[in-house]
Chain A
Amino acid sequence: MAAAEKEIVYGRIPVPTWRWLGVNEVRVPEKVLREPPAARLVTIPAGETREFTVVTRGEAVSELHVEIGAGAELRLTRARLAPDGTQCADKVKATLSENARFVYTAVNLGGESVADLLDVDLVGDGSSADVAALYFADGRQKIDMNYIARQRGKNTDASLVVQGGLADEAEKIFRGTLDFVRGAVGSVGREREAVTLLSPNVVNRSAPLMLSGEAEVDGRHATSVGKLDEEKLYYLTSRGLSPADAKRLVVLAAAAPVLERVADVTLADEIRTFIERRLSDG
């Protein structure tokens, strides 16, 4: 990417911090957003259950707003299997009514630069968001994620689980924010991020924010960043697997909990194959 290329701010971390950490803004090359598409609005009527799977295989810029009615459920899977060199930017915004449920699974694979924004507003009492994301980046890929769960209603439940692997010179930022707004009595929030670093030149940034204006909540987050578990690799190679096979197995095992959520078996296979191929190349 040319150094002088103009960028615009596509998203922001809810509470900024030191500039030197470079996580305050999600920036996207201006040319990518030259013709931003109109936001698509999806409404799930009260009490209904819907399931959607969106797969993108090329350059993509999208903005999706979902409104989930009282007691309704939306299961949304968004998988990106982008060819090398493409630039992508996506926003998903979800607003949840009383007892609404949002089950969101995101998969980010491929592309040169990827901006992935999620903003979940748990407005209704008893609403819940179950979010899981999987990414794998290699080469000079850049993934920039900004996920926010704003818990406003009483007894809401939000879970953010992010699992990823970085190889070569890939760069990734994940900002995950649990925001307990005053009045969100009885709400529970969980955030877990695990990143596996597969080569010495990767850059991983993680910013797991937890904001609270309400005392009667239970919030937890945990982040772990590190290389593949050597003990596991050793164990597998002692059983005759080649180091490459062992590595593949361990990486895919880490991805399994997110992959299991992808209901479309063909798609899940495709994702698995994509990661396997990337791991073999490296």
Chain B
Amino acid sequence: MAKQKTFIEDIERALYDVRGEDRPRYRSESGLTEEIVRDISERKHDPDWMTEMRLKALAVYNEISLPGWGPDLSALDMEKIATYVQPDAQMAGRWEDVPDEIRDTFDRLGIPEAEKESLAGVGAQYDSEVVYHSIQTSLTKQGVVYTDMETALREHEDLVRAHFMKLVPPKDHKFAALHGAVWSGGSFVYVPAGVEVKIPLQSYFRLNAPGAGQFEHTLIIVEKGASLHFIEGCSAPKYNVTNLHAGCVELYVKEGARLRYSTIENWSKNMMNLNTKRALVEKGGLIEWVSGSFGSRVSMLYPTSILSGEGARCEFTGVTFAGRGQHLDTGATVVHAAPRTSSVINTRSISKDGGVAVYRSGVKVTAGAKGAKCAVNCESLMLDDVSRSDTIPVMDVREDDADVGHEAKIGRISDEAIYYLTSRGIKEDEARAMIVRGFVEPIAKALPMEYAVEMNNLIDLELEGTRG
């Protein structure tokens, strides 16, 4: 049985595990010093205010301690992490212009193909820099901007300056500070008022260099009445050294706007994924998070929605699958800061093979948020008795005219359910897979089609090892 497990996981990761040769143009010294930060800033031709922000963030980083809760982060040694790895490539607008070696990687991941078939724009980041960016001209004609953060900083400096790390200030937590100091790459999206982007944009983040960190910054502004679906994909090949991902996502959803932010995260199992995502939603706006966490050794990921305008809404849909050696601490936070705001949080987590899946949430209803509604539903499935599953939700309600409900379940696949399905001719392992797929079905439904298929494949392959 153990053998089969290894075998299967090898297959499952094979696609992601093909390493590109690690041949960067430039790689920063490991560790974190003012010199390194200044050096990164210089190489990136930052405006002065940005250099200053980086240095302030570094000071904050040196001041504050690691969180006093959550997974063990002792495997992370900042002295050994290279914070900036510049690939040997210029940013290109055509795949043909991306160096072969790097393009091969994205070809294998099916990114150019997906672009042709189902995306309106694609960004691709390799280590610390974006190597490819494109957007349909029909969208640029409507004023939609989709580009890498460095270009945005040059071409839309005022917009960036007004929003950059305003939602997630460096002092938020240690890794936000780290991000502020060494961020590089990421995507910038601006959707003008009233523009509906009907086909999704997708950014793909690939961390190829061993012992490196990726600190991309994604900034999205969806203006009044506009709408957008943004997809974020991430992966990395497996190395024996620890890699770090401390990206930051800031989303501004203006009055009556809608933004769907989908992520399928499948980092390799040597990754520390300490990512911060936050959305500010104005009057009548909607943020929809769809979040799938499958990879990484440790994850701490809790997208936050600040519902600041009347009637603003948040829908969070998440699935977490923790296998051997993984500690995935995921969830969501929502702040209801205006009347008649509403949120729905719906999560499923699965743990097996000694994996630890934690659902953690914070829901706050501030005084004056009259008519606020929040419904949380989280369910956990444990596939064996060596794994862990914890649910740690907190609700803080300071308004009487509010309706906050939370439900959670923990358990395993019942023998009765398997018996019922086998009595209809379905084999036991297929019955088990059906039940697990059914368990995550509410999440799969929210995913883009090809991701739902990928998730089901991941589940089938992951389950293979637990059978018999």
Contacts and interface: CB of A to CB of B under 8 A. Distances in A.
Do A and B pair up? The answer is yes
Interface of A: 15-24, 180, 182, 185, 195, 197-227
B29 interface: no
Contacts of A217: 410-412
B381 to A, nearest CB: 9
Nearest to B357: A212
Nearest to B402: A226
B263 interface: no
B68 A19 contact: yes
B367 A212 contact: no
30 contacts: A15-B69, A15-B392, A19-B68, A23-B394, A24-B69, A180-B410, A182-B385, A185-B385, A199-B400, A201-B398, A204-B396, A205-B395, A207-B392, A208-B393, A210-B390, A210-B410, A212-B382, A215-B385, A215-B411, A218-B410, A219-B411, A221-B407, A221-B408, A222-B406, A222-B407, A223-B407, A225-B395, A225-B405, A226-B403, A226-B405
B305 interface: no
Contact of B69 (A18, A209, A218): A18
A211 B392 CA distance: 8
A35 to B, nearest CB: 31
B394 to A, nearest CB: 5
Contacts of B395: 204-207, 223, 225
B418 to A, nearest CB: 14
Contacts of A202: 398, 400
B436 to A, nearest CB: 13
Contact of A224 (B69, B367, B401, B404): B404
A218 B398 contact: no
A204 B360 CA distance: 18
B353 to A, nearest CB: 12
Contacts of B68: 16, 19
Given A16-B68, A208-B406, A21 B394 contact: yes
Interface in B46-73: 68-69
B242 to A, nearest CB: 24
B391 interface: yes
A15 B412 contact: no
A210 to B, nearest CB: 4
Given A21-B362, A219-B409, 13 more contacts: A17-B392, A21-B396, A197-B397, A199-B400, A200-B400, A211-B388, A212-B380, A212-B388, A212-B389, A216-B385, A221-B391, A222-B406, A225-B404
Contact of A198 (B360, B400, B409): B400
Closest 6 CB pairs of A and B: A197-B400, A215-B382, A219-B410, A16-B69, A225-B404, A223-B406
B104 interface: no
B387 interface: yes
B399 interface: yes
A235 B387 CA distance: 50
A203 B398 contact: yes
Nearest to A185: B385
Main secondary structure of the interface of B (DSSP, over half): strand
A265 B211 CA distance: 69
B408 A208 contact: yes
Interface string B230-271: 000000000000000000000000000000000000000000
A195 B68 CA distance: 29
A214 to B, nearest CB: 6
A215 B384 contact: yes
Contacts of B400: 197-200, 202, 227
B207 interface: no
B398 A209 contact: no
A218 B381 CA distance: 10
Nearest to A216: B412
Contacts of B447: none
A198 to B, nearest CB: 7
A94 to B, nearest CB: 23
B383 interface: yes
B412 A215 contact: yes
Nearest to A20: B362
Contact of B405 (A211, A223, A227): A223
Contact of A227 (B69, B401, B407): B401
Most buried by A among B392, B399, B407: B392
Given A223-B406, A227-B402, A214 B385 contact: yes
Given A17-B360, A212-B380, A226 B404 contact: yes
B363 to A, nearest CB: 9
A200 B383 contact: no
B69 A211 contact: no
Nearest to B406: A223
Contacts of B384: 215
A12 to B, nearest CB: 11
A204 B397 CA distance: 5
Contacts of B407: 220-223
Contacts of A23: 394
Most buried by B among A17, A20, A197, A208: A17
Contacts of A215: 382-385, 387, 411-412
Most buried by B among A197, A214, A222, A225: A225
